[in-house]
Structure 1
Amino acid sequence: MTRVLITGVTGMVGSHLLDYLIDQTDWTIYGMLRWRSSLDNISHHVRRINSGDRINLVYADLRDSMSIDHAVQSALPDYVFHLAAQSYPKTSFDSPLETMDTNIQGTERLLGALRRHCKEAIIHVCSSSEVFGRVSSDKLPINEECTFHPASPYAISKVGTDLIGRYYAEAYGMCVMTTRMFTHTGPRRGDVFAESSFAKQIAMIEAGLIEPVVKTGNLDSLRTWADVRDAVRAYYMMLTIKPTPGEYYNIGGDFTLSVRDMLTKLIELSKYSSIEVKTDPERLRPIDADLQVPDINKFRNHTGWQPTIKFEKTMVDLLNYWRDQVKLKKDFLTR
């Protein structure tokens, strides 16, 4: 029986990957999470968890070597999706050392444990498009060979993650592949990210919980948008279609527009007729990666992957997700 380990299984991407693997494979799945992680994103699988029905949870922290070693020995995976990280760029400005320990040394701890216990595993290391950071317009679209110019402690940590993955492939002959996924979103996206924060605020406005004002950071950033459900399908294809040790791929959508235009679309989808937009200085980063447009030809040519979910559906599903979350909270508060 094929065994797979997903680190960060309760996050947006990890939970959607879990959904995909449950639907598309017969693999036995080990999901790694911290003891304090919320299970909300995987609660619809609760009857399967630790019941002998394919889904097993293993508790570990990327900053704790012994727990990582134990998780790897429990799972002994054939495939690994390393998604766990301190993934919030703005938070990284306040907690740079924690971010770097989690993302850089955490990746080292995980790959070291895999080298000791299941060296033949096929491994995906999730880096980030943020490694490219400040890119000049003449270098768009961004290909895999574009120079790294990270614009946050998070991005710096992902440069380390990226390089560690390739180092293990080259130094130890392990089948490690690295992705730089560009902006991807959808249901379960954390509200610290721009589009999810906007959707949550709009849902709260519709529910009468806050004034009709959406607070924003930088709206001028240009981004290519993908749906998280397309992203996890890409990750699966990378590990199962001619996996190539040491390869690294840019992955992203095919629809590009600014954060400002994305917010306009969300407001157009709202049930509320008049919403004001205000810049909140607390939401601005000291420096921003403001041109995130990928060249995905390398990955597309290798796997045949194409994004299939349209931008508007992603925005509708994201807004409906937050409407459901806000309704649950409102119902709880008014009992």
Structure 2
Amino acid sequence: MHCTLITGANGFVGRQLCRTLQHSGQHVIALTAGAATSPLAADQHLQCDIRNADALHQAIALARPTHVIHLAAITHIPTSFADPQLTWQTNVMASLNLMEALRRRAPDAFTLFVSSSEVYGASFKSGLPVDEQTACQPMNPYAASKLAGEIAIGEYFRQGMRGVIARPFNHIGENQSPIFATASFARQIARAEAGLQPPILRVGNLEAHRDFLDVQDVCKAYLKLMELPCEKVEQSRRFNIASGNTHSIRNILETLLSLSPLQLSVEQDPERLRPSDIPVAIGDNRAIRQATGWQPLIPLQDTLQRLLTFWRAQVGALI
């Protein structure tokens, strides 16, 4: 049985990943910086700020994982601009802390480092699907820190530690923070339906096209990557997790609006506009499909329906 440690287990993806791994029969160890905000689907729960090297060494010594999925990170791009020092400390130095702790305490553990499609940055300007050989040209502190984390962790892999790097594209679902667009839309719709705000949605840029995935499909991709045989790991260390299709933010919003009985108007909010000269970001997923057989299965409509149902429940609990 795999004994899998998940860093950042209290986050949006971490919560779903705990459930996915438990359902697959793994012993799940949830590592969080503080107390869980609600119960986690984990067999064991450890608290540790991964920026604290000594505390992390103690946590790894206690957990003795066979596998590690490293999710913990600063992922919000505006936050990375506002506090680049925190971003680099968390996304790079804390990742080094993890690999050092594993090297000393669990050297045979297989590590899945969750990077980001944001590392491709300016390469998206071609408008073509990017694959793992596409040049990385980060355009924000978050992306730069993730690429630096890839390089740092890749050095441990080069020296013989086992693992791979995932580059997931935009993924959405329940429990995602409303600082992200799709969750913000769903939350505002739910609040308007409950009479907690006027029937007006305030939005940012709606014209960008992105490669969207359901968080459940992404977690299943992580599970597949953890099961890669050694020869396939040696062939490729980096894998895009992408659908190979794009949807505009406007299309996402219109689909969510169609799921509500209310007539809602939309207003652009200058404070929500984030400058971007990347009109289209799409990924090539052939590498992970060929290596593992993974492919996304959940229709976007179903994801958005679940998302809206989740926020209706969250809002309803406040009334």
**Residues 237, 303 of structure 1: 8 Å contact kept:** yes
Out of 158, 161, 165, the residue aligned to residue 178 of structure 1 is: 165
**Residues 163, 237 of structure 2: 8 Å contact kept:** yes
Q: Taking structure 1 as reference, are residues 213 and 135 closer, same or farther at Cα in structure 2, changes over 3 Å only?
A: farther
State the match for 1:13 in structure 2: 13
State the match for 1:122 in structure 2: 110
Out of 127, 138, 143, the residue aligned to residue 150 of structure 1 is: 138
| 1:285-331 deviation line (CA, Å, top 9, x unaligned) | 2446542200000111000001111110000001111111010112x
Task: Give me the whole-angstrom Cα distance separating, in 2, the residues matched to 1:193 and 1:212.
Answer: 20
State the match for 1:333 in structure 2: none
**Residues 124, 282 of structure 2: 8 Å contact kept:** no
Q: Taking structure 1 as reference, are residues 290 and 34 closer, same or farther at Cα in structure 2, changes over 3 Å only?
A: farther
Amino acid at match of 1:18: C
State the match for 2:314 in structure 1: 325
Task: Give me the whole-angstrom Cα distance separating, in 2, the residues matched to 1:285 and 1:37.
Answer: 31
Task: Give me the whole-angstrom Cα distance separating, in 2, the residues matched to 1:102 and 1:252.
Answer: 25
Task: Give me the whole-angstrom Cα distance separating, in 2, the residues matched to 1:70 and 1:293.
Answer: 40
Displacement of 1:224: 1.2
Task: Give me the whole-angstrom Cα distance separating, in 2, the residues matched to 1:28 and 1:136.
Answer: 39
Displacement of 1:138: 3.2
Amino acid at match of 1:179: A
**Residues 62, 109 of structure 1: 8 Å contact kept:** yes
Displacement of 1:62: 2.1
Give SS of 2:246's match.
Answer: strand
Alignment map for 1:128-143 (pairs within 5 Å): 128-138=116-126, 140-143=128-131
Give SS of 1:133's match.
Answer: helix
State the match for 1:221 in structure 2: 208
Normalised by the size of structure 2, how large is the TM-score?
0.94
Amino acid at match of 1:197: S
2:179 pairs with 1:192: yes
Amino acid at match of 1:248: R
**Residues 183, 307 of structure 2: 8 Å contact kept:** yes
Give SS of 2:211's match.
Answer: strand
Amino acid at match of 1:275: L
Out of 44, 52, 56, the residue aligned to residue 44 of structure 2 is: 56
Q: Taking structure 1 as reference, are residues 288 and 122 closer, same or farther at Cα in structure 2, changes over 3 Å only?
A: farther
Give SS of 1:141's match.
Answer: coil
Give SS of 1:214's match.
Answer: strand
Task: Give me the whole-angstrom Cα distance separating, in 1, the residues matched to 2:53 and 2:279.
Answer: 36
Task: Give me the whole-angstrom Cα distance separating, in 1, the residues matched to 2:124 and 2:20.
Answer: 36
**Residues 226, 254 of structure 1: 8 Å contact kept:** no
**Residues 130, 150 of structure 1: 8 Å contact kept:** yes
State the match for 2:190 in structure 1: 203
Displacement of 1:268: 0.9
State the match for 2:300 in structure 1: 311
Normalised by the size of structure 1, how large is the TM-score?
0.90
Task: Give me the whole-angstrom Cα distance separating, in 2, the residues matched to 1:168 and 1:139.
Answer: 33
Displacement of 1:72: 0.9
Alignment map for 1:263-278 (pairs within 5 Å): 263-272=253-262, 274-278=263-267
Amino acid at match of 1:305: W
**Residues 139, 146 of structure 1: 8 Å contact kept:** no
Displacement of 1:151: 2.1
**Residues 9, 31 of structure 1: 8 Å contact kept:** yes
Q: Taking structure 1 as reference, are residues 139 and 216 closer, same or farther at Cα in structure 2, changes over 3 Å only?
A: closer
Give SS of 1:329's match.
Answer: coil
Task: Report which stretch shifted further, 91-100 or 312-321.
Answer: 91-100
State the match for 1:52 in structure 2: none
Q: Taking structure 1 as reference, are residues 99 and 298 closer, same or farther at Cα in structure 2, changes over 3 Å only?
A: same
State the match for 2:33 in structure 1: 34
